[in-house]
Amino acid sequence: MSELPAFLDRTRPEVPDLAVPRGVTPFFLPRLPVRGRLVRLGPLAHTMLMRHDHTPPVRALLGQALALAAGLSTALKFSGSFSLQAKGDGAVPMLIADCTEAGALRGYARYDAEKDNLATSARGLLGDGYLAFTVDQGPDTERQQGIVSLEGESLAEMARHYFDTSEQLPGAIFLAAGETPSGWRASALILERIAGAGGIDPSLNETEQDEAWRTAHILAMTITEAELLDDALTPERLLYRLFHGEGVAVDRPRPLAYGCRCSRARLADILEGFDQDDLDHMSIDGDIVMTCEFCNFDFRFPRISVQGRKTEES
C-alpha cells in the first residue's frame, strides 16, 4: 500500500501495462463515398476479458462492446471519452465500454447469474432496455448523448438501429469476439458512407455513388468471424481481401491500451462524501474495501484514515 495519503495517491493499481500499437486501422476507398475502420484488440482483449469470472457469452458480449467503442471513438474529433452503455432487465443489466481520444480502453459487464437463462445473443443477455452513446469532454462542457431502445438480436444490430434512427449517414457494423488458440480476441469492422463531395470522384453522380456504397456494403458482408479474429491475418491483408477490386487504401493505424483510470485518490474522494455511520457500516475488520468494476481490483482503506462528510451533529 502506498505511504501517501489516499487523497494524494493517484497511482494506478497493479494492472497490466499493455498497449496494441495497431489496434485501429482506418481505411478508405479512393474517390468513392466509403471509409471505415478495422479494430483488432489482439492480446488486449484476453487481458481485459479475463479479469472477471464471466461466462463465455458474457465475455463475448463485452469483447464486442470494447471493439465497437474503440471503432466508433476513432471516427470522432474530441478530447475526453466516448462510451457506449446498454441497460436492460436481463442477466447482463449493465454493459459499459469507453475509449479516450488517446485510445485508453476499458469496459465492464454486470452479470446476474440468477437471471441467466443460458442465452448467448446480446438481446438474450441484455433483455429489454436502452443503448446510449455518449461523448464526455470534461466538466466544463455539455455531454453529447444519443439513446435508443434495444432493437435486434446482436450488439451490431442494436448499434445499427441507433444510426438508422438518428438521421446519420448509412453505416455497416460487423463485430466478433471469441476464444481462439491464442486466447480471447475481439474485433470490429465499421463502414461509413461519406457525406458531400470531398474525396469523391466528381464524375460520379448520385446514383453511381449509391451503387458504390451498396457494392462496398455487400463486399463487407462477406467477412467471417474467423477472419476478424485471426491474428495471423494482418489488417492490410484482410482489407485487401475484401476490397481489392475497389482499390482500398489504409491510413495511419492508431494504438489502443489497457485504460482503466481508477486510483486510490478517486475512490478516496467518493468515500469522503459518506457520513460517519455509513462508513462504519461499510467497514469490515477495520477496513473499507472498494472494488473497481472495470479492472476488478480491490482498494483497501483503513477506516481510521477516512474522515467522511461532516454532519451538523459532529
pLDDT tens-digit map of 254-270: 999 988 776 677 777 78
Supply the mean pLDDT for the chain: 87
Query: Mean pLDDT throughout 274-299?
Result: 81
State pTM to two decimals: 0.85
Query: Mean pLDDT throughout 135-146?
Result: 82
Asked if the model's pLDDT at residue 187 lies above 90, the reply is yes
How many angstroms separate the CA atoms of 67 and 48, rounded? 12
Asked if the model's pLDDT at residue 287 lies above 90, the reply is no
- pLDDT at site 7: 47
- Give the amino acid at 247: G
Cβ neighbours of residue 133 under 8 Å, at least 6 residues apart? 72, 82, 83, 84, 145, 146, 162
Domain-wise residue ranges, the chain:
19-258, 263-305
pLDDT digits (tens, 9 = 90+) for 41-82: 999 999 999 988 999 999 999 999 999 999 999 888 878 889
How many angstroms separate the CA atoms of 44 and 66, rounded? 10
Q: How far is CA 97 from CA 100, 111, 217, in A?
A: 11, 15, 26
Asked if the model's pLDDT at residue 312 lies above 60, the reply is no
Q: Are the beta carbons of 184 and 45 closer than 8 angstroms?
A: yes
Residue 314: pLDDT band (50, 70, 90) is very low
Task: Give the length of the chain.
Answer: 314
Q: How far is CA 108 from CA 59, 169, 260, 272, in A?
A: 10, 29, 10, 25
Asked if the model's pLDDT at residue 35 lies above 80, the reply is yes
- pLDDT at site 68: 97
One-character DSSP codes across 200-255: B-TT--HHHHHHHHHHHHHHHTT--HHHHH-TTS-HHHHHHHHHGGGT-EE---EE
- pLDDT at site 1: 47
Q: Are the beta carbons of 114 and 147 closer than 8 angstroms?
A: no
How many angstroms separate the CA atoms of 67 and 57, rounded? 15
CATH, domain range 19-258: 3.55.30.10
Here the cell at position 314 is 459532529
One-character DSSP codes across 78-146: -SSEEEEEEEESSS--EEEEEEETT-EEEEEEE--GGG-----SHHHHH-SEEEEEEEE--TTSPPEEE
Name the residue among 26, 44, 74 with its Cα closest to residue 259.
Answer: 44
3-state secondary structure (DSSP) of residue 191: strand
How many angstroms separate the CA atoms of 301 and 1, rounded? 10
Asked if the model's pLDDT at residue 4 lies above 60, the reply is no
Asked if the model's pLDDT at residue 168 lies above 70, the reply is no
pLDDT digits (tens, 9 = 90+) for 202-256: 778 888 888 999 999 999 999 999 999 999 999 999 999 999 999 999 999 999 9
Q: Give the whole-number percent of the chain exceeding pLDDT 90.
A: 56
Lowest mean pLDDT among 48-52, 171-175, 297-301: 297-301
Residue 295: pLDDT band (50, 70, 90) is confident
3-state secondary structure (DSSP) of residue 300: strand
pLDDT digits (tens, 9 = 90+) for 75-126: 888 788 899 999 999 999 999 999 999 999 999 999 998 898 888 999 999 9
Q: Parallel, antiparallel, or unpaired: how do β-strands 254-258 and 104-110 relate?
A: parallel
Asked if the model's pLDDT at residue 127 lies above 90, the reply is yes
Query: Mean pLDDT throughout 26-32?
Result: 92
Region of residue 19 (phi > 0: left; psi between -120 and 50: alpha; otherwise: beta): beta
